[in-house]
């Protein structure tokens, strides 16, 4: 039986769940994996804090995070603190000291991947990050190993459980945005700062990590186009339904090659018949297209303590097999991630279809003014609706727009906003059918 001693940094939603499973399921884990996981030390920020997940903090194991790496009884550092401050320091020091790292921290990998993977390569120490994307779904392992025969061509889907929980609660149960967010937070799905979820940043972090694995080189998070879900109203969800669509926050990665890649995160109208339209709650779902295998779908719980602990524990077992081997023997996939990767294609050049909602004065001639701006920009309209039952000073006007580069749409929207008949900032969402 292989014995591995871990130092756990973080005892929140994820850290607490990891602790619960490795302590209550130890026998099962040993028989299934051949690895005995022993917990040597735990670091938290505030030992006196009341822990809402109800798992008592084992105080005898408490240390400061700075102490974890140097401890002789820690073989693997498990970083579950989040953020890029103390977590970055701990991960880099651990890799430098030759101690494998397991982390769920997509922010760190997306924003400091170049530094982290350079250190991992330099010291020949692996870093495992299954829990950083799509919670309990073994997506990272599949991209690294299961699909190694493939050139990955297209990856898209739902990677933020909190946003999907909010959008599906608004769509199905008619909950308000605020109530749905509060529920997602209470269930342990949201980031410590939930604006990371609702502004699309968390999904963009994950998209950068996936694009890095798919292209083989670090994709710069700052180049990823990101729009969150704050602008998605109950009215838009309703209009989308009338048109046969559902609104989801999607991460889309395509045109993957060593020099460039398209990576974007934004609310997206998808046809109700698309399988992603029926992915509800905290569930994540990703479609991966490889040139050898074709299309594969991955779906499962994308956030929350137990699902994420499942991924972290799988990584601990993987990391255990690298302990005690010298670095040249360990030819982990991390060694194949180049610190500098492809540049992200500018969003201005990305072509897609669009949903446009305008708030306009209810007067004759308004439609002509708007269609003339779109016509001048060579933007084709596929359908227009002015829903009934909105009579008053202003009315909504919904356009579905044919394929157009974002650059043209952006210019046209700015001209439309300046028309006297347009009374609020236009609402625009992209429409994707993924060729179906």
Q: How far is CA 65 from the centre of its chain?
A: 26
Q: Is 202 in the site for ligand HSE (CB under 6 A)?
A: yes
Q: With binding defined as CB under 6 A, does residue 199 bind ligand HSE?
A: no
What is the CA angle 65-69-72, rounded to 5?
A: 125
Three-state DSSP class for 267?
strand
Q: Which does 217 bind (CB under 5 to 8 A by kind): ligand NAP, ligand HSE, none?
A: none
Q: What is the DSSP letter of 346?
A: P
Site string for ligand HSE, 81-120 (x = CB under 6 A): ----------------------------------------
Give the C-alpha distances (Å, rounded to integers) separating 103 from 38, 248, 405. 17, 27, 38
Closest residue to ligand NAP, based on beta-carbon distance = 12
Nearer to ligand NAP, 127 or 131 (CB): 131
- Binding-site size for ligand NAP (CB under 6 A) equals 27
Among 129, 189, 399, 406, binds ligand NAP (CB under 6 A): 189
Q: Does 281 help bind ligand NAP (rule: CB under 6 A)?
A: no
Using rule CB under 6 A, residue 166 touches ligand HSE: no
CA dist 189 → 71, 196, 304, 402 (Å):
32, 12, 5, 36
CA nearest neighbour of 166 among 152, 151, 176, 155: 176
Q: Which of ligand NAP, ligand HSE, none has residue 197 at its interface (CB below 5 to 8 Å by kind)?
A: ligand HSE
131 binds ligand NAP (CB under 6 A): yes
Is residue 220 annotated as part of the catalytic site, yes or no? Answer: no
DSSP 201-222: HHHHHHHHHHHHHHHTBPPPGG
Among 6, 181, 269, 303, binds ligand NAP (CB under 6 A): 303
For 340, how many CA atoms within 13 A lie in the half-sphere containing its CB?
Answer: 1
Q: Does 190 bind ligand HSE (CB under 6 A)?
A: yes
Q: Which stretch binds ligand NAP (CB under 6 A): 189-197, 255-263, 348-356, 365-373?
A: 189-197
Residues 62-121 that bind ligand NAP (CB under 6 A): 65, 80-82, 86, 104-105
How far is Cα 421 from Cα 405, in angstroms, rounded to an integer? 25
Rounded to the nearest 10°, the torsion over CA 146, 84, 157, 184 is 120
**Can you tell me the distance from the alpha carbon of 95 to that of 115, in angstroms, rounded to the nearest whole number?**
11
Does position 46 interact with ligand NAP (CB under 6 A)? The reply is: yes
d(CA 255, CA 151): 11
Number of neighbouring beta carbons within 10 Å of residue 359: 17
**Footprint of ligand HSE on 287-316 (CB under 6 A):** 302-303
The residues binding ligand HSE (CB under 6 A) are: 135, 160-162, 189-191, 197, 202, 302-303
The residues binding ligand NAP (CB under 6 A) are: 10-15, 43-46, 49, 65, 80-82, 86, 104-105, 131, 135, 188-189, 191-192, 303-304, 308
Residues tagged active-site = 206
């Amino acid at each position: 039986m292989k014995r591995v001693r871990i130092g756990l940094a973080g005892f929140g939603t994820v850290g607490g769940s990891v602790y619960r499973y490795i302590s209550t399921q130890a026998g099962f884990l040993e028989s299934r994996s051949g690895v005995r996981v022993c917990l040597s030390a735990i670091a938290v920020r505030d030992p006196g804090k009341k822990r809402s997940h109800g798992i008592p903090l084992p105080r005898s194991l408490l240390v400061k995070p700075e102490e974890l790496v140097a401890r002789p009884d820690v073989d693997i550092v498990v970083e579950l603190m989040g953020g890029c401050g103390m977590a970055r320091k701990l991960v880099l020091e651990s890799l430098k000291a030759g101690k494998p790292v397991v982390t769920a921290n997509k922010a760190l990998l997306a924003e400091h991947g170049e530094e982290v993977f350079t250190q991992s390569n330099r010291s020949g120490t692996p870093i495992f990050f299954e829990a950083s994307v799509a919670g309990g779904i073994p997506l990272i392992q599949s991209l690294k190993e299961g699909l190694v025969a493939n050139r990955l061509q297209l990856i898209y889907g739902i990677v933020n459980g909190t946003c999907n929980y909010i959008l599906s609660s608004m769509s199905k149960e008619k909950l308000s945005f605020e109530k749905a967010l509060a529920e997602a937070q209470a269930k342990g799905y949201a980031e410590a700062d939930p604006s990371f979820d609702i502004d699309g940043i968390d999904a963009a972090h994950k998209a950068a990590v996936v694009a890095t694995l798919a292209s083989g080189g670090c994709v710069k998070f700052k180049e990823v186009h990101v729009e969150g879900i704050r602008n998605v109203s109950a009215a838009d969800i309703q209009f989308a339904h009338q048109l046969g669509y559902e609104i989801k926050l999607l991460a889309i990665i395509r045109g993957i090659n060593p020099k460039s890649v398209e990576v974007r995160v934004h609310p997206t109208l998808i046809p109700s018949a698309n399988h992603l339209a029926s992915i509800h709650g905290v569930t994540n779902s990703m479609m991966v297209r490889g040139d050898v295998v074709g299309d594969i779908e991955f779906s499962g719980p994308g956030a929350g303590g137990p699902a994420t602990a499942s991924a972290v524990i799988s990584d601990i077992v993987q990391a255990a097999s690298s302990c005690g081997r010298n670095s040249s023997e360990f030819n982990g996939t991390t060694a194949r991630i180049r610190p500098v990767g492809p540049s992200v294609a500018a969003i201005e050049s990305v072509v897609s279809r669009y949903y446009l909602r305008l708030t306009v004065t209810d007067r004759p001639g308004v439609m002509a003014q708007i269609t003339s701006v779109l016509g001048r920009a060579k933007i084709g309209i596929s359908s227009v609706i002015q829903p009934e039952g909105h009579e008053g000073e202003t009315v909504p006007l919904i356009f579905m727009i044919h394929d157009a580069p974002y650059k043209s749409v952006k210019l046209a929207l700015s001209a439309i906003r300046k028309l006297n008949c347009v009374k609020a900032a236009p609402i625009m969402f992209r429409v994707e059918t993924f060729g179906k």
